[in-house]
Amino acid sequence: MEDPALSDLPASTRAAVLTLGGLCGLGLLCAAGLALAIVSAAHLRSTGAPVPDGAAPALYRFAAGTLAVAVCRGALASMVMRRSAIGRRLACLVETGVIALGLLSWYNGPGFEGPRAGHTAVTADLASWFGATAGIVVSIAVILLLWTRASEAWCDR
């Protein structure tokens, strides 16, 4: 059996697959950036520069979570493209989990000050809130795209 081409997919399924694939790539880039931040924190600590306690483990947990979700999104996009009804349901489940994490970030955000810009501090809470809101909106869009009749028909063949 041949793998379907992206153009063979219904429009809603194609949009969901492309979104999941794009989020996978973005997640992998973020995980790489976080890995660089972990190495930088270790380097700063070795030179005697002050590094906040718990910064490296927090970065490690965030990088591991980001990497896991990115890989899941990429695998699920591939499963949906190959007409997997289970992949479609699992993708919706993963996106529901991402929404839950976004809501937790809204209400229990990090609560620390981020880098200084000039003489004012840019709070991480604001960035966290906007990131969580964008993540929630994209995850809801993916779920809605995957639960259209066309996507359901594509995956149930």
Place of tokens 């609560």: 111
> pLDDT tens string for the chain (157 positions)?
577 888 899 999 999 999 999 999 999 998 898 889 889 888 888 998 888 777 778 788 888 888 999 999 999 999 999 999 999 999 999 999 988 887 877 665 554 444 445 555 455 556 666 777 888 899 999 999 999 999 999 988 7
What are the percentages of helix, strand and coil residues in the chain, rounded to 5? 75, 5, 20
Contacts of 50 (CB under 8 A, 6+ apart): none
User: Whole-angstrom Cα distance, residue 113 to residue 94?
Assistant: 30
User: Whole-angstrom Cα distance, residue 61 to residue 69?
Assistant: 12
List pLDDT tens digits, range 90-121.
999 999 998 888 787 766 555 444 444 555 54
pTM score above 0.85: no
